[in-house]
Amino acid sequence: MRYFLWLSYDGTRYNGWQAQPEQLTVQGEIERALKVYYRKEITIYGCGRTDTGVHASKYCCHLDSDVAMDFNDLYHLNAILHADTVLIEIQAVKDDAHARFDAYSRSYQYFIRYRKSPFHINHSFPVYYFDKIDQDLLQAAADTITAYRDFTTFCKVESDVKSNNCDISTAMWEFYDNHAVFSITANRFLRGMVRMIVGMNLNVAIGKIQLDDVIDCLENQQRMKIDWSVPACGLFLCDVKYPKSVFLK
């Protein structure tokens, strides 16, 4: 039977999601726990690849098991897993359901703090000049990207994807007393795309680049002269959505 596993993880000590030889990864950590508990190799397939240091508050992967799994299994697996990775829920799905290919929406949040905090050092990016930022211009920069589909401008050079097209449905900033949150939702994201978009937003808001220059690059699928990818520590994958048809009733 095939199952979706929902989990959360702090990506601070991991070299991203995807299993790699001689590297500590989230996928490798979960597969290690599955092997200890079930005494056999079980491969899991994630909804996407998060980079080194990126976190997830709601991530989904799938696996196949020849024994029925339930919440009690999650309890025992969590006892094996490191404290920075927690399995939250297990759902039986159809045999052809796929955590990556069946997802129709993914959402990320990026957290910025206005000052350094010892309690958030690995989970947000301190921006000490935030009081000088034009918040309206910050949102205007975010609004701009929703009008485009080709995001070559915000794709890492070494990316091997076949298409740079993404359908962004939401891109917005929210401001609080001591921090700001950027939220973005799309059908898919390119490698490093969200962190580069946040960097662009900040650069526009402080006047390092002009919004017209961003638009020009998007129109012509070109990289910007000032290309800034903000640190991974502030980025969280926070939601993944699937059609109801993949789940067993």
Which pLDDT does position 16 carry in this prediction?
96
Tokens of 53: 């240091």
Could you tell me which residues come within 8 angstroms of residue 158 by beta carbon, excluding any fewer than 6 positions away? none
Computed on alpha carbons and rounded to an integer, the radius of gyration of the chain in Å comes to 19
Helix-strand-coil split of the chain, %, nearest 5:
25, 25, 45
Q: What pLDDT, in 10s, does the model give residues 152-209?
A: 999 877 666 789 999 999 999 999 999 999 999 999 999 999 999 999 999 999 999 9
Specify whether 146 is located in the same domain as 169: yes
Specify whether 115 is located in the same domain as 130: yes
146 within a domain of the structure (yes/no): yes
Could you tell me which residues come within 8 angstroms of residue 4 by beta carbon, excluding any fewer than 6 positions away? 60, 61, 62, 90, 91, 93, 97, 99, 242, 246, 247
Domain encompassing residue 92: 2-102
Specify whether 120 is located in the same domain as 209: yes
Specify whether 94 is located in the same domain as 138: no
What is the count of structural domains for the chain? Answer: 2
Q: pTM to 2 decimals?
A: 0.95
Average pLDDT along the chain, 249 residues, taken 10 residues at a time? 97 96 96 96 96 97 94 96 97 97 98 92 93 93 96 81 92 96 97 96 94 96 90 98 94
Tokens of 60: 């989904």
Strand partners, 51: none
Answer positive or negative: Cα dihedral of 182, 237, 197, 140: negative
Which pLDDT does position 112 carry in this prediction?
97
Specify whether 122 is located in the same domain as 51: no
Which pLDDT does position 158 carry in this prediction?
66
Contact at 8 Å (CB) between 46 and 99? yes
Specify whether 188 is located in the same domain as 87: no
Phi, psi of 208 (to 5 degrees): -75, -30
Cα(99)–Cα(184) distance, rounded to whole angstroms?
A: 20
Local structure of residue 79 (DSSP, 8 states): H
Which pLDDT does position 226 carry in this prediction?
87
Specify whether 136 is located in the same domain as 233: yes
Which pLDDT does position 160 carry in this prediction?
66
What three-state secondary structure class fits 189? Answer: coil
Give residue 26's identity as a one-letter amino acid code.
V
Query: Which positions are annotated as active-site residues?
Result: 51
Which pLDDT does position 225 carry in this prediction?
87
Q: Tell me the angle at which helices 135-145 and 211-219 cross, rounded to the nearest 10 degrees.
A: 10
218 within a domain of the structure (yes/no): yes
Tokens of 21: 């030889």
Query: Which of 75, 102, 129 is the C-terminal boundary of a domain?
Result: 102
Query: Which of 82, 102, 122 is the C-terminal boundary of a domain?
Result: 102
181 within a domain of the structure (yes/no): yes
> What would the DSSP string read from start to end of 131-153?
GGS-HHHHHHHHHHHTT-SB-GG
Cα(216)–Cα(145) distance, rounded to whole angstroms?
A: 12
Specify whether 73 is located in the same domain as 91: yes
